[in-house]
Structure 1
Amino acid sequence: MEVEAVESNASRGGADHRPSSKKDRRVFWACVFIFANSCFQCTAYFGVSTNLVNYLKDRLHQDSKAAANSVTNWQGTSSIMALVAAFLADAFLGRYWTIAIFMLISVVAYAVLTVSAAAALPGAALFYAGLYLLALGGALQPVLTSFGADQFDESDEEERRRQSSFFNWFYQTLNVGSLVGGTVLVWVQSSVGWGLGYGIPALFSVLAVAVFLAGTGAYRRHQPPGGSPLTRVAQVVVAAVRKYGVEVPADASALYECETDDGMSAIQGSRRLAHTDQFRFLDKAAVETAGDKTRPSPWRLCTVTQVEELKCVLRLLPVLASGIVFAAAYAQMSSTFILQGDTLDPYVGGFRVPAAVLSVSETLSVMLWVPLYDRVIVPLARRATGRDRGFSQLARMGVGLIVLTAAMLAAGTLEVQRHRVVARHGMYDTNTGADGRYLPMSIFWQVPQYVVVGASEVFTFIGQMEFFYDQAPDAMRSLCTGLSMTSFALGNYVSSALVTVVARATARGGRDGWIPDDINRGHLDNFFWLLAMLCIGNFGVYLLIARWYTYKKTVD
């Protein structure tokens, strides 16, 4: 990704104001270091997380249920820690120092895990200490995403285009890392040993730190910490409630705003935000009364920019909610898709392809779709729409919602065909291939649904990442980017609850239900049709959200 356009001294706050020119390639090299760092981090992380359940069973002697719960608890903690890291970056440490400090914590975590695995130490205390240190230190994706996007000058049209391209290629590095970590390193753990299998991720974590620090001279934009965003939000709510009876003036210019000497807002490193008409009640917090002039207090009077910060977050929440249903359907790759694949013939000649490994085709699909989207689809859309990004961000996410619906329909269609094969051969009690009897139907018939899921991911997940960064206030971008990723975690919980409810509701009266232990006697196809209908309904609601949404505006 070549970057020629660079910021001028008039760019927004947080820049270091060093002289630059159109030939300056600093952004290019900054992105190279960030991409390499992200790839190394993901390789290490997925090298541990992908096969973690087997380590807990083989080395710590946990049963399947306890091991599965341990993994989900750890993943949930990692999601929470991502928000903690994002909060610290926006509020106190800044993004650069948050990344550096948390990566050093992750190096210690990998070292502890390696020592525990290599020495085969009795007890689980040391291993869990390393594991939860990793949950803390490895939760950097929202901060690193924001830091990388910060390198581009949004006031420059060409750099704004390249910033949009950055999100695509950043996500590509995540997939490269997950592919290597989830295949090569898992093979090392299974075939060579856990000590080396965890030692290699430790090495990658050291490389990640080295690469990030090596790029320090190339990073040209450092968003300064703006103080606690939670405090600012609370101040707006309290001030608006205390002024419940105050009339909001019709002229928005009469609302209180504090401009610094450099034209920025009173929040360090944050541009001023233009007033919007949504959530008018909150505007009461920016109405200056006689009492505010004699006894000024941030808990009674807030700036327009501070009020608009809260409005930005409130507008993002419905978009976040629409991503939960998407994530719930997406989560079928690690659950019902595998149940379906377990019954199909996994052999290619004498080589066996486990159902779980087939998800690699989704990762490869993403790796194919990213350059296709960035180099082909966006330029074509740009000519058609005249937009810098080709599509609006909301339109891009909407396309992904529809594409995922097609994936559920593809899975349901395959399930109908699979049931026909079951009926034709009378294979109702094969116990999903566990006894060596697989349906005479190749597992590779699942590839199309995985490929379509990958396409939807490129549109929606990457679009969501870019959208939340772009629409977040300057001093809350790490936190809002982290917030967007919570839809994935919530979607997994919704998926688990949906499977449980459907299985129980359809198994009443002695029936097998849609998702019995032997799915050859169930109706998994009906479950996929249900998911497709939920996706369509979610898309309908999303259209209303997109129509209602008001894009953030800054005051130049």
Structure 2
Amino acid sequence: MGMVAQEEEGAAATHQWGKSAHHWLGDSHHCSTVEQATGEERTPRHSTMDADGNGGGHCWLGYIVLALQAYTPSLHPPPCNPAATTAAASTTCEPVRGANLSLLLLGLYLVPIGDGAMKACLPALGGDQFDPADPDEQRQEVSFYNWYTFAASTGGFVGLVFIVWVENSKGWGVGFAICAAFVLLGLLVWAAAFPLYRNRLPTGSPITRILQVFVAAFRKRNVRLPEDPSELKQINQDDDNNALEVLPRTDGFGCLEKAAVRTGNDAGAWSLCSVNQVEETKILLRMAPIFAAAVLGYIPMPLILTFTVQQGSTMNTKLGSVHISPATLFLIPIIFQLVILILYDRVIVPPLRRLTGYVGGVTHLQRIGVGFIATIMATAVAAVVEIRRKSAAHESSLADGTAGIPLSVFWLTPQFFLIGIFDVTSFVGLLEFFCSEVSMGMKSIGSSIFYCILGVSAWLGSLLIQVTNRVTRRGGKGNGGSGGWLDGANLNNGKLERFYVVLCIIEVVALLSYVFFARRYVYRNEQKVVTQGGTMCDTGNGADMI
């Protein structure tokens, strides 16, 4: 969607593109949560990604639908008036309607539905391949999440270079067909390695187990807890959930423990739950403050990326004799991310591991915090660069134009670099944190929670754009009043630098709230560190490790 919007210059107002992009982005990330909930983990994780399952099959079919619509003229809307100006054309072009619109939406949403299933399962299945009791495999698991992100970013790099070139030179139909071929090839490679995977046995839906705890606890809200915790219902290793990790009872959330109190009126799983179910629910509740702070901290990032690319499209995008298209600007943060990931995993982590003793060099929460600091710096730098860009536009009498400002696009390099640092630290750190802190029976929901953060923050970002324009609009749009900070397609007439300041303030609040909750978070597992002799030792699970 980003490639479509960035290649169609002047097609929509700045805030309209921002809202549409973040609505679709939010929907795509939330699909991972929906897929995990509906899949109910009653089958092994890899089956949801098979061509006949929810993941790869839906993704492949979505690209096929998009390719057919792009290739078939009868499915296109009528052409615009070629004699009209760009502004007029945007109002006289007939949009796609009826069955053609339904087909377009079907393709657009089949792709994220399938992608969501893979997002929920891939990190979880990858984590299953490593034994946390083995020191060597524990180190390898730390690297896995770095290289998982590296692989995903490499795919984005190939798409922005190769697929964009194909779509511009050969047409959108060919581009979508190649995407479908890539998905099919990936499924074949995936299926070829089935015998090699360590695959966890299905344990039923973790969401269902959590809901059962809340329902049972509410029904027994007036029941008193026994003085002896051993009287609570324990997990039965002979039942259908014998593959569940046995969790020790912890203090706190006593109201939920009532779900495990035996009474004479218990009738089924919605009336009586095991201590294991209660502990799984406690794990998620303890992570909820980190989730909330991460959502707030993630709001600025997609907005910065979106508007930075729009800034770049108005600047001098020549690199020597080569002209860089607006869509290709997305490559810059990806390149930074790939380089920083390699340096972090191979150069930075080993000495940090020797210095701090932590397997990952730093704790998950420390790594996430570094990313939030980088975001604060990115928003501040972006505001300064935007002031410089608008100044160059006015000095060159190009304030009324939408391109050609004599200021190199490489002025955006610092904020792109900081975006790359954020991706390497907070993106990977949050994914690793949620996947490692949940129990073995909830690994998929751990990765789904992470992608839910991206989805919620994207929706909130879209809402923030609308609220900003309404609050800053004076006198009514079109009635002689001034537009909002982000109204219109011309960034030179807006107040994007002020919006960046708002994002910076939001990120500062997010960082402060995150530090507050992170310092009080107690890791579920004792943190393992590497001693000088190469053995592993426990440092305890106190909150002082952050």
AA paired with 2:505?
M
TM-score normalized with structure 2 length = 0.82
Contact 1:89 1:95 in 2 (8 A): no
Offset at residue 151 of structure 1 (A): 0.7
* Aligned counterparts of 1:338 and 1:113: Cα–Cα separation in 2: 25
Change in Cα spacing, 1:416 to 1:108, as seen in structure 2 (3 Å) is closer
Greater displacement, 309-318 / 343-352 = 343-352
AA paired with 1:98?
T
Q: Which runs of 5+ in 1 are unaligned?
A: 1-48
AA paired with 2:248?
A
Matched, 1:547 2:519: yes
Residue among 429, 434, 438 paired with 2:399: 429
Change in Cα spacing, 1:214 to 1:238, as seen in structure 2 (3 Å) is same
Matched, 1:93 2:43: yes
Contact 1:50 1:186 in 2 (8 A): no
Change in Cα spacing, 1:67 to 1:463, as seen in structure 2 (3 Å) is closer
Identity in percent: 32
AA paired with 1:241?
F
The residue that corresponds to 2:211 in the other structure is 234
Offset at residue 513 of structure 1 (A): 5.5
Contact 2:393 2:399 in 1 (8 A): no
Change in Cα spacing, 1:250 to 1:390, as seen in structure 2 (3 Å) is farther
TM-align CA RMSD: 2.9
The residue that corresponds to 2:221 in the other structure is 244
The residue that corresponds to 1:405 in the other structure is 376
* Aligned counterparts of 2:405 and 2:344: Cα–Cα separation in 1: 37
The residue that corresponds to 1:385 in the other structure is 356
Offset at residue 69 of structure 1 (A): 7.9
* Aligned counterparts of 1:171 and 1:349: Cα–Cα separation in 2: 32
Contact 1:324 1:490 in 2 (8 A): yes
Contact 1:345 1:443 in 2 (8 A): yes
AA paired with 2:516?
L
The residue that corresponds to 1:495 in the other structure is 461
AA paired with 2:62?
A
Contact 1:88 1:98 in 2 (8 A): no
* Aligned counterparts of 2:18 and 2:500: Cα–Cα separation in 1: 24
Contact 2:2 2:327 in 1 (8 A): no
Q: Which runs of 5+ in 2 are unaligned?
A: 77-99, 476-480, 527-546
The superposition leaves residues 148-181 of structure 1 with CA deviations (integer Å, 9 ceiling, x where unpaired) of 1111111222212211110110111100001111
* Aligned counterparts of 2:4 and 2:43: Cα–Cα separation in 1: 32
AA paired with 1:217?
P
Residue among 218, 223, 232 paired with 2:200: 223
Contact 1:90 1:476 in 2 (8 A): no
AA paired with 2:524?
K
1:64-213 mapped onto 2 (5 Å cutoff):
75-100=25-50, 101=53, 102-122=55-75, 124=100, 125-139=102-116, 140-213=118-191
The residue that corresponds to 2:408 in the other structure is 442
Change in Cα spacing, 1:496 to 1:108, as seen in structure 2 (3 Å) is closer
Contact 1:256 1:304 in 2 (8 A): yes
AA paired with 1:288?
R
The residue that corresponds to 2:503 in the other structure is 531
The residue that corresponds to 2:492 in the other structure is 520
Tell me the SS of whatever aligns to 2:407: strand
Matched, 1:346 2:317: yes
Residue among 275, 282, 307 paired with 2:249: 275
The residue that corresponds to 2:532 in the other structure is none
TM-score normalized with structure 1 length = 0.80
Contact 1:90 1:475 in 2 (8 A): no
Number of residues paired by the alignment?
489
* Aligned counterparts of 1:50 and 1:525: Cα–Cα separation in 2: 22
Tell me the SS of whatever aligns to 1:440: strand
Greater displacement, 235-244 / 86-95 = 86-95
The superposition leaves residues 305-352 of structure 1 with CA deviations (integer Å, 9 ceiling, x where unpaired) of 100111112222222222222322111244321343233222234432
Residue among 295, 298, 309 paired with 2:269: 298
Residue among 256, 279, 286 paired with 1:315: 286
Offset at residue 247 of structure 1 (A): 2.7
Greater displacement, 180-189 / 332-341 = 332-341
Tell me the SS of whatever aligns to 1:260: coil
Change in Cα spacing, 1:334 to 1:162, as seen in structure 2 (3 Å) is same
Tell me the SS of whatever aligns to 1:159: helix
The residue that corresponds to 2:434 in the other structure is 468
AA paired with 1:281?
C
* Aligned counterparts of 1:335 and 1:67: Cα–Cα separation in 2: 9
* Aligned counterparts of 1:142 and 1:90: Cα–Cα separation in 2: 12
The residue that corresponds to 2:233 in the other structure is 256
The residue that corresponds to 1:480 in the other structure is 446
Contact 1:267 1:475 in 2 (8 A): no
* Aligned counterparts of 1:106 and 1:51: Cα–Cα separation in 2: 18
* Aligned counterparts of 2:454 and 2:504: Cα–Cα separation in 1: 18
